[in-house]
Amino acid sequence: MTGVRRRVSHLPLRVRLVAGFSAAMLVLLVAAGAFVYWRVEYALDRGLDTELEQATSVITPLVGPDGTVSTPESADATGTGWQVLSEQGEVLDAGGPAPQHPLVSTAQLAQVGDDAHTVDVGTLLPAADQPYRVRITPLSTPAGYLLVGVRRDHRDEALRELLLQLSLAGLGALVAASVVGDLLARAALRPVERYRRRAAEIAAGAADLRLDVPAGRDDEVTRLGHTLNDMLAALEEALDRERRFVDDASHELRTPLTLLKSRIQLARRRHRTVAEHERILDELALDVARLVDLSEQLLAVDRQEPGSDGACDAGDVVRAAAARWRAAAPSRSHELTLELPTGSVPARIGAPALDRVVVNLVGNALTHGAAPVEVRVLSSSGHAVVTVADSGAGMPPELLDQATRRFSRAVEARSRPGAGLGLAIVERLVVAAGGELRLCYGDHHRSIGTATHVPCSHDARMTVTVILPAAGL
């Protein structure tokens, strides 16, 4: 059985569908044909049995004690063949079209009880020469049995014709059902084959291809096509992120790694004291730390932030981030000022994501701007608003348009710490939360993300505004 299943499983899906459909139709047709045949046979046999009962009622009173019929003419007038048999199965008297030899065997006589019993003599297929339907009636006289029989020629011919017609009709219906099933299977699987060919093209390296899903349909195959297209889009986006990460990493890590290699080569050119080696190792450790920080920032830009979903109190998040920064740099605590509301400001963003936004914006302002840095939190028009303003020289208009691109930095900022990834991280987190990021300096403004009607409420200083949908806490 396992071998059969294995062989069947290797057949094409279309063949298995058609075979299953045809098998089900065959079972249905056989059951319907058997039912029709049984009903016709029952009706024909009932007609013959009625004729036998009437003839038996006429002939039975005519049988004498010696087993002979007193008036054979009356018995023959019934139109049936009749025989009177002894208990040993010998023919005592006969008439009508009945032959002189017994119509039934002694074994069949032995099966007769006290009531009449009907048997068929001769087969339907192949056709018998003398087919009879015989009614065996036990007699109360010393004679044993009265047999009354009618020929089944017309009945058997009708049943054979019915079998032929049912067979031909069933075969034709099965062929038609198989053809229709094959056409339906081909039509149902045609989109799947089309998807397979397109997937093969994509696997061969073709870019920007999608499965051709017909419009205006909503069935299992079209839903599969839409799901596969969504999967292809997600895979393409993931590959793009991977390529960007590899390109950015190779671009940004090439120079510091080359410098690190050169410093090591210079350090090995001559013998040095232990103190000199320790000083060089300290410098190398600083370079390695910068490389690690750059790598972590590259990964942070490309990975999906787990805290983008959720809700938090923007005021609490800003307060906690400022407390950590002041604890880490107590001598510069006066450079950061907060303006927080007395009540809560619920924002539809996870607390970890908003914390990273605040940390990056404050870090950028303190590194590339000038103190004091002011952080404000407020509610406006159903949104949570966080602004970070510094007193530095700000960004020129041409830099505002590309400030959120990776590694985008002003010429004068390239000598300062950082890799130009902070605003790229902020943009990704804010846009993922459905918010708006604004970069403003003087009369120049740039908006990124979902535009809102929240007005800008700041002066001419360099200001970064984060506008997030409000959430119920």
Per-residue pLDDT of 284-298, as tens digits, reads 787 787 677 666 656
Q: Is the pLDDT of residue 274 over 90?
A: no
Beta strand segments in 213-318, E: 312-313
Q: Is 18 part of any domain?
A: yes
Name the nearest CA neighbour of 214 among 206, 224, 203, 205: 224
Q: Which residue reads 């932030």 in tokens?
A: 305
Looking at 158, 188, 204, the residue that finishes a domain is 158
Residues 63-96 as b or e (16 or more Cβ within 10 Å = b): beeebebeebeebbebebbbbbbeeebebbbbbb
Report the pLDDT value the prediction gives residue 414, as an integer from 0 to 100.
43
CB neighbours of residue 141 within 10 Å? 13
Alpha-carbon gap, residue 468 to 354, rounded angstroms: 10
Looking from the CA of 424 toward its CB, the CA atoms found within 13 Å total 19
The string over 161-187, giving b where at least 16 C-beta atoms fall within 10 Å of a residue's C-beta and e elsewhere, is ebeeebeeebeebbeebbeebbeebee
Mean pLDDT of the chain: 83
The answer to whether the beta carbons of residues 44 and 159 sit under 8 Å apart is: yes
At 350 the pLDDT is 86
Q: Tell me, what CATH number does 41's domain have?
A: 3.30.450.20
Same domain, 16 and 46: yes
Q: Give pLDDT, residue 404.
A: 67
Residues 84 and 127 placed together within one structural domain of the fold:
yes
Q: Looking at the 3D structure of the chain, how many domains does it have?
A: 3
CA of 164: how far to CAs of 37, 129, 151, 200, in Å? 11, 20, 22, 51
418 domain residue, yes or no: yes
Q: What is the CATH number of the domain that holds 329?
A: 3.30.565.10
Q: Could you list the residue range(s) of the whole structural domain that residue 16 is in?
A: 2-158
Separation between Cα atoms, residue 416 and residue 396, nearest integer Å: 18
**pLDDT score for 252:** 56
Helix or strand or coil: residue 458? Answer: coil
* Domain match, 347 and 456 both: yes
Name the residue type at position 332. Answer: R
**pLDDT tens per residue, range 331-346:** 888 889 999 988 899 9
Same-domain status, 129 and 7:
yes
Instruction: Note whether residue 356 is domain-resident.
Output: yes
Contacts of 185 (CB under 8 A, 6+ apart): 13, 14, 17, 18, 21
Residues 363 and 264 in one domain: no
Last residue in a domain, options 260, 279, 302: 302
In 3D, which of 391, 372, 400, 410 has the Cα closest to residue 459? 391
Q: Do 341 and 427 reside in the same domain of the chain?
A: yes
Domain presence at residue 100: yes
Do residue 72 and residue 133 come from a single domain? yes
Residue 348 in this model has a pLDDT that exceeds 70 = yes
pTM: 0.52
168-180 pLDDT per residue, tens:
999 999 999 999 9
Query: Same domain for 288 and 318?
Result: no
Neighbouring C-beta atoms of residue 135, cutoff 10 Å: 22
Residues 324 and 383 in one domain: yes
Residues 6+ apart with CB under 8 A from 418: 363, 364, 367, 368, 409
Cα distance between residue 377 and residue 372, in whole Å: 17
195 lies in some domain: no
Q: Is residue 202 part of a domain?
A: no
Q: Is 208 left (phi over 0), alpha (psi -120 to 50) or beta?
A: left
Q: How far apart are CA 316 and CA 200, in angstroms?
A: 52
How many other CB atoms sit within 10 Å of the CB of residue 156? 20
141 and 284 part of one domain: no
Identify the pLDDT of residue 166.
94
Indicate the helix (H) or strand (E) that contains 121: strand 117-121
Classify residue 246: in a domain, yes or no: yes
Model confidence pLDDT, tens digit, residues 44-88: 999 999 999 999 999 999 998 888 999 999 999 999 999 999 988
Looking at per-residue confidence, does 434 or 396 come out higher? 434
d(CA 302, CA 304): 7
Residue 331, domain member (yes or no): yes
Regarding whether 225 and 152 lie in a shared domain, the answer is no
Cis check for the bond before 126: say yes or no (omega within 30 of 0): yes
- Ranges 138-152, 202-216, 227-241, 272-286, most confident: 138-152
**How far is 4 from 421, CA to CA, in rounded Å?**
62
**Domain boundary at 302, 321, 348, which?**
302
Nearest C-alpha neighbor of 221 from the set 182, 181, 178, 187? 187
What span, in angstroms and rounded, lies between the C-alpha atoms of 132 and 123?
9
DSSP secondary structure code for residue 192 in this structure: H
125 and 50: one domain? yes
How far is the C-alpha of 163 from the C-alpha of 155, rounded, in Å? 12
